[in-house]
Every structure is written in structure tokens, then in C-alpha cells.
Amino acid sequence: MDTLASPTLRNTLQTARKSRRLSQLELALRMGVSQRHVSFVESGRAQPSRELLLIWLQELQAPLALRNVALQQAGFAPAYRGAELGDAVLAPVREALGRLLAAHDPMPALVMDAAWNVLQMNRGARWMTVALMPSLAQLPPDAPFNLLDAMLHPEGMTRHLTNLEEVAPAMLAHLRDDASMMPDISPRVEQLAAQFQQRLGKRLLAQWPRQIAPVLTTRFATAHGELAFFSMFSTFGTPQDITLASLRVEHVFAADVATRQVVERWVVG
């Protein structure tokens, strides 16, 4: 196309490329185009075709929702649809998620979207959230719950972290990576960063230990004593629906025997 790329489109493409830590040359080689063309599009001097833009966004591993936004910014129709998780078409997905959560009980497991909204939890996750934030016990089971809000709350989960100095840099790196593809959460991520800075001061910027454990363990002070957990995340392979592409399942595991025994005692009974 001969028309120039809109400021919004070029900003979207630049931000997405930089979040993947790709140079213009690396991206150009992956797409089979010249670095000059990538530079022209990112500077607003040229606009890619719809076909090239889809390849561009694929190479940047952009979320499907962001791909639709970029297509619309370029004047093209969206390529992806998003069904509600409760829609009939996603019934097999809901069943699969339910089985996954149930299989992980009594250890906590929960389903989140890209904005860190909790959509489903198993028994272990419900127990853990109340153990870390007792005020949540008053909420109805189907009440909206956002993990970012829970971390920002004055009596929230991060208040009980006993190894915040170790966890904060990794947590912020993860959240900022999410915010680069989900700008709506960026203000809350930076609020959390400010809270950490206030609590840790210059220690927040200290280098991570040279020798670290295979996984990062998060430790909490609770009424049940110190509890230690680590997490794994599951996502759908090659999703073609915006809702499914945004979902991830966090599987939480006990990092020591004492934590496992506490969880089993209170969740299983």
C-alpha cells in the first residue's frame, strides 16, 4: 500500500518488537523482507499489506487481541474472534479446565486471563487466597477477583511475603512483560513497583544472587506459619480464539513438606 502507516500502528509495532527484544534486522530476516522496509513501516513512511502485517504480528508473537488492534489501525478487518468462556462453543474447554483444576487439588490452581482476572479456582486456591487475605472470606464465591488488585491492596498478598527482596525483581519483570502486550494493566503494575520501592528502597535494584535455586520460591507469613510455594503455568497450544489465547492456568506447588502438610490438613480435612 502506498499510504503511510498511522502513528498508532507504528507505535504498536515498535512496542511489540522491543518487548520481544528483536532488532529490526532480526525481524526482517524472519519475515523475508528488507530491514529498510521494516524501518520504513516503523517510522510511518510505509504501510504493510494485510498479509505481511499478519506475518509480522506472528513473528512478534503478539497476543491475538493486539493483532486485531493492529489490523484495525492499518485499516483492515480483524482476523480473530473471541467467545465468552461461558459460551456453548467453549464447553469442551471449560470441562478441560475443570478437570485440570480438580486434578491439582488440594494444591492451589487457578485460571486467569491476560489482565490477571481470576476466572476459576479449585479448593486449594480458594483456601490459599483466604489464608493470605482473610478479608476475602466475606466475598461470595462468584465475586470478581483480580490478582493485581489483591497484590496492591494494603492488606494484600504481597504484604505477607517474607522474601520480598528476592521475589520482587522477578515478579516485576514478569508483570512488565505482560504489560508490554496488555497496556491496560501497566498503571497498576507501576503502582506495585512503587510499593516495592517504598518497602525495599535501593535493595529493589540490587543484582539477583549469582547462585539461585532451580525455581523461585515465594514465602508467606500466615496464621498457619510460614508457607512456601512455587508455580508452573499452562496455556493452550496454538489458540485461534482471543479468549483462549489470553487464558493461563497457574499450578501452585508446596516447596517444602511443612507447607504440603498444612495445605492437605486444611483443604482435605
**Three-point CA angle 16, 188, 144, nearest 5°:** 105
| Residue predicted with more confidence, 154 or 1 | 154
What is the per-residue pLDDT across 47-105, written as a single tens digit (0 to 9) for each?
A: 999 999 999 999 998 889 889 999 999 999 999 988 888 888 889 999 999 999 999 99
E-strand ranges in 133-181 read none
Q: Domain locations in the chain?
A: 7-73, 89-268
DSSP summary character for residue 207: P
- What is the pLDDT confidence band of residue 1, given thresholds at 50, 70 and 90? very low
| Residue predicted with more confidence, 141 or 168 | 168
Any idea which fold 7-73 has?
434 Repressor (Amino-terminal Domain) (1.10.260)
244 closest CA partner among 105, 132, 137, 91: 91
* 79 in Cβ contact with 68 (< 8 Å): yes
What is the per-residue pLDDT across 129-143, written as a single tens digit (0 to 9) for each?
A: 999 988 887 777 777
Q: Indicate yes or no: pTM above 0.75.
A: yes
Residues β-bridged to residue 228: 219
DSSP summary character for residue 3: S
Q: Average pLDDT, stretch 159-175?
A: 90
Report DSSP letters for 60-125, one per residue: TT--HHHHHHHHHHTT-----B---TTSGGGHHHHHHHHHHHHHHTTS-EEEE-TT-BEEEE-HHH
Q: How far apart are the first and last CA of the chain?
A: 65
Domain at 89-268: CATH code:
3.30.450.20
Task: Give dist(CA 122, CA 102) in Å, integer.
Answer: 6
Other C-beta atoms closer than 10 Å to the C-beta of 37 total 16
Report the SS3 class of residue 187.
helix
What is the per-residue pLDDT across 185-226, written as a single tens digit (0 to 9) for each?
A: 999 999 999 999 888 887 665 555 544 567 789 999 999 999
